[in-house]
A and B are shown apart, each in its own frame.
Chain A
Amino acid sequence: MATSSRVENDSAPNILPTAKRRSRAWRRFTKNKLSLIGAVFVVIVVLTAIFAREVAPYNPLQANFLETYQGPTWQHLLGTDSLGRDMLSRIIYSLRNACIVGFGAEIVELTIGLMLGATAGYLGGFADTILMRVVDVVYGFPTFLFAIILVVMMGHTILAILVAVSATSWVGMARIVRSQVMQVRQSPYIESARAMGASTWQTVIRYVLPNSMGPVLVAVTFGIPANMMIEAALSVVGLGIQPPTPDLGELILVGQSAVLSYSYLLIWPALLFALTLLSFSFVGDGLRNVFDTKSDR
């Protein structure tokens, strides 16, 4: 009997080999060349931030009063600032804060968002009502003002900034996760999971969350630059990481005040900041193409 079944289904045509299949997501991602360029740029930024010590030609804090306000030279590719500190090194080090806050706060947001969103979305009913009302309340907080208050209360440490940035931003994530989970929960395969005896916990972890991740990842790529924005803005109003530690927001602020005489002090950090934010957007667009599987079948 077994053989007869096999004959009925003799061949398995149009099945791609694994390697080719893996590349499908990649091909979708790179369909838009900007996504690829964005991804490369993001990777460079992150690596630079991690290996700042190795990459930076000078100590970013080292003042040199003989070389203040130098335009770009071979010694100082991006010039020096009012204290003669190397701009390139300062910019490279400033990426650290941006990345720590950008990614760190996003991890916090993702964790809270996943837990609350998944609970509300999967359980529904009363739990959903309660959790979503909490989300609504937090959503009502003015993000920036709240961040300012927190930083003032907790001091200007990187941890305080991280908490301040993520304190209200997780609500967006919780909403996205919830709506995804609610959608996935309706899928026939969740019923299959119940039929085979999977517990609620197993169902959520093994099937619901993995299949909800597409839009969540896209949201992450837009959340990271948003966090960087807030962090820089805090610096601009003087509540960020305190000088002399280099910070993009602070660099831009200083550069802006000297823009008429020494425009490069503004141009380089501002350009880098803009490009970084833009790159994340491009990566997000690429991911959206990958997860948009409507054309799949």
Chain B
Amino acid sequence: MAIAEILSDRTSLVKVEHMTHEFRSGRGKIVACDGLNLMVRKGESLGLVGESGSGKSTAIRLMQRFMRPSQGKIWWQGHDVTRWSERRLKPYRQKMGFVSQDPYGSLFPNRTILGNVIEPLIIHGIAEGPERMRRAEALMDRVGIAAIHQQVFPHELSGGQQQRVAIARAMALGPDLLMLDEAVSSLDVSIQAQIINLLQDLKADLDLTYVFVSHNLAVVRLLCESVAVMYLGRVVEFNRTEALFATPRHPYTKMLIQSIPRLTDEGVSALPEDPGRGLIGENSGTGCAYAARCPLAVERCLAEAPGLRQLPSGGEVACHQAK
């Protein structure tokens, strides 16, 4: 998405402009997000992929304003919410659900599963007594946990069931947008497929939009219209999902896709060749962060960091060498 388009936009569900976030630690500054420009329009689910340390989890937390960015702006539905108080944000939070990586840890341990699902309704003072119960039951039915006794506590459920409860809770206020942080990563394969299907159904039936953070490209592919690949706090490639998987442009994206061990009809993919080391030299600190691992790196990459640039074929890539 072109930067001009992002800046002029007033209708997207969420967007961030030049968002930068630094953590201070004992050993100095860590830049988790470095000048991110992202936008999520209704019906255009966005996948954020990258390895640990890529800043994808920080990005999804900033987008929800769990913290304030060091620099840059966050917009919700045309409002600059970067500096808003929690009280002012509250009504907008109804439109935004959150499902985290750890299904057990994210549920309130002191509430039954029914209690967990109605909690958002209580917080926002929505519906009363039987109406509240009816809503909760409908939600639980919708995510496939109607058969479970409502008065059990989260620790008594399996991981897949817990994640269904978490999804029901995130859906309780009727959001337009669901923020999913590695929402299926901790589940077993056979259960993961159930939850992915559920998320696909919800998206189609209720017109939901997702921001889906994952290290698993194959999962993102099933749930998102476009994908941003992150590396060390920056977006290195952005494209429509089909295009990104068909023709990855950035050498990092290529390596990422290649590294996934996968089964094809012929058998299993071979272990990828060692890409060897990239250009190790004096990186001025302003150069491309990937240069040290990049097989395509040239002198220029060490001196000058590539910005995201539009490709004629569509999509954007931050690489001097990519075509």
Indicate if A touches B (C-beta under 8 A): yes
Instruction: Enumerate chain A interface residues (CB-CB to B < 8 A).
Output: 1-2, 4-6, 8-12, 14-18, 21, 187-189, 191-200, 202, 206-207, 210-211, 293, 296-297
Minimum Cβ distance to chain B for residue A18 (Å)? 5
In the complex, what residues of A have CB within 8 A of residue B153's CB?
21
Closest A residue to B193 by beta carbon equals A8
Are A15 and B105 in contact, with the CB atoms below 8 A? no
28 contacts between A and B (CB under 8 A): A5-B201, A6-B141, A6-B144, A12-B147, A12-B148, A12-B161, A16-B152, A17-B149, A21-B156, A188-B102, A189-B106, A191-B61, A192-B108, A192-B166, A192-B169, A193-B108, A194-B66, A195-B66, A195-B98, A196-B123, A196-B124, A197-B86, A197-B91, A197-B93, A197-B123, A199-B86, A206-B119, A211-B109
Are A15 and B149 in contact, with the CB atoms below 8 A? yes
Are A196 and B93 in contact, with the CB atoms below 8 A? yes
Q: 1/0 per position for B128-164, CB-CB distance to A under 8 A?
A: 0000000000000111111111011101110011001
Given A6-B144, A9-B145, A195-B179, verify A189-B194 contact (CB < 8 Å): no
* Separation of A221 and B108 alpha carbons in the complex (Å): 26
B110 at the interface (CB under 8 A from A): yes
Are B173 and A10 in contact, with the CB atoms below 8 A? no
Are B123 and A202 in contact, with the CB atoms below 8 A? yes
Of the four ranges (under 10, 10 to 19, 20 to 34, 35 or more), the interface on chain B belongs to 35 or more
Minimum Cβ distance to chain A for residue B19 (Å)? 18
Given A6-B147, A195-B179, verify A188-B86 contact (CB < 8 Å): no
Minimum Cβ distance to chain A for residue B121 (Å)? 9
Closest A residue to B109 by beta carbon equals A211
Contact of B148 (CB < 8 Å), options: A15, A202, A211: A15
B251 at the interface (CB under 8 A from A): no
B253 at the interface (CB under 8 A from A): no
Are B97 and A197 in contact, with the CB atoms below 8 A? no
Are A18 and B179 in contact, with the CB atoms below 8 A? no
Are A211 and B141 in contact, with the CB atoms below 8 A? no
In the complex, what residues of A have CB within 8 A of residue B201's CB?
1, 4-5
* Separation of A45 and B228 alpha carbons in the complex (Å): 67
In the complex, what residues of A have CB within 8 A of residue B105's CB?
187-189
In the complex, what residues of B have CB within 8 A of residue A189's CB?
105-109
In the complex, what residues of B have CB within 8 A of residue A5's CB?
142-144, 197-198, 201
In the complex, what residues of A have CB within 8 A of residue B144's CB?
5-6, 8-9
In the complex, what residues of B have CB within 8 A of residue A197's CB?
86, 89-91, 93-94, 120, 123-124
In the complex, what residues of B have CB within 8 A of residue A193's CB?
108, 123
Contact of B173 (CB < 8 Å), options: A4, A8, A11, A196: A196
Minimum Cβ distance to chain B for residue A17 (Å)? 8
Are B87 and A199 in contact, with the CB atoms below 8 A? yes
* Separation of A11 and B158 alpha carbons in the complex (Å): 12
In the complex, what residues of A have CB within 8 A of residue B141's CB?
2, 6
Q: 1/0 per position for B69-94, CB-CB distance to A under 8 A?
A: 00000000000000000110111011
Chain A contact residues, majority secondary structure: helix
Are B119 and A196 in contact, with the CB atoms below 8 A? yes
Minimum Cβ distance to chain A for residue B89 (Å)? 7
Are A16 and B156 in contact, with the CB atoms below 8 A? yes
* Separation of A189 and B194 alpha carbons in the complex (Å): 23
Instruction: Enumerate chain B interface residues (CB-CB to A < 8 A).
Output: 61, 64, 66, 86-87, 89-91, 93-94, 96-98, 100-102, 104-110, 119-120, 123-124, 141-149, 151-153, 155-157, 160-161, 164, 166, 169-170, 172-173, 179, 194, 197-198, 201, 205
Are A200 and B147 in contact, with the CB atoms below 8 A? no
* Separation of A206 and B100 alpha carbons in the complex (Å): 20
In the complex, what residues of B have CB within 8 A of residue A297's CB?
104, 155
Closest A residue to B145 by beta carbon equals A9
In the complex, what residues of A have CB within 8 A of residue B110's CB?
207, 210-211
Given A196-B173, A199-B86, A199-B87, verify A191-B123 contact (CB < 8 Å): no
Are A188 and B100 in contact, with the CB atoms below 8 A? yes
* Separation of A6 and B140 alpha carbons in the complex (Å): 10
Closest B residue to A209 by beta carbon equals B110
Are B120 and A196 in contact, with the CB atoms below 8 A? yes
Given A4-B201, A6-B141, A197-B89, verify A188-B119 contact (CB < 8 Å): no
Give 5 nearest A-B pairs by CB, closest first: A195-B98, A197-B93, A5-B144, A188-B105, A12-B148
Q: Determine which residue in A187, A189, A211, A293 has the highest number of CB atoms from chain B within 10 A of its CB, and name it.
A: A189
In the complex, what residues of B have CB within 8 A of residue A6's CB?
141, 144, 146-147
* Separation of A293 and B160 alpha carbons in the complex (Å): 21
* Separation of A172 and B61 alpha carbons in the complex (Å): 35
Q: Determine which residue in A6, A18, A188, A192 has the highest number of CB atoms from chain B within 10 A of its CB, and name it.
A: A192
* Separation of A206 and B111 alpha carbons in the complex (Å): 10
Contact of B152 (CB < 8 Å), options: A21, A188, A196, A206: A21
Minimum Cβ distance to chain A for residue B132 (Å)? 15
Closest B residue to A186 by beta carbon equals B105
In the complex, what residues of B have CB within 8 A of residue A4's CB?
201
In the complex, what residues of A have CB within 8 A of residue B194's CB?
8-9
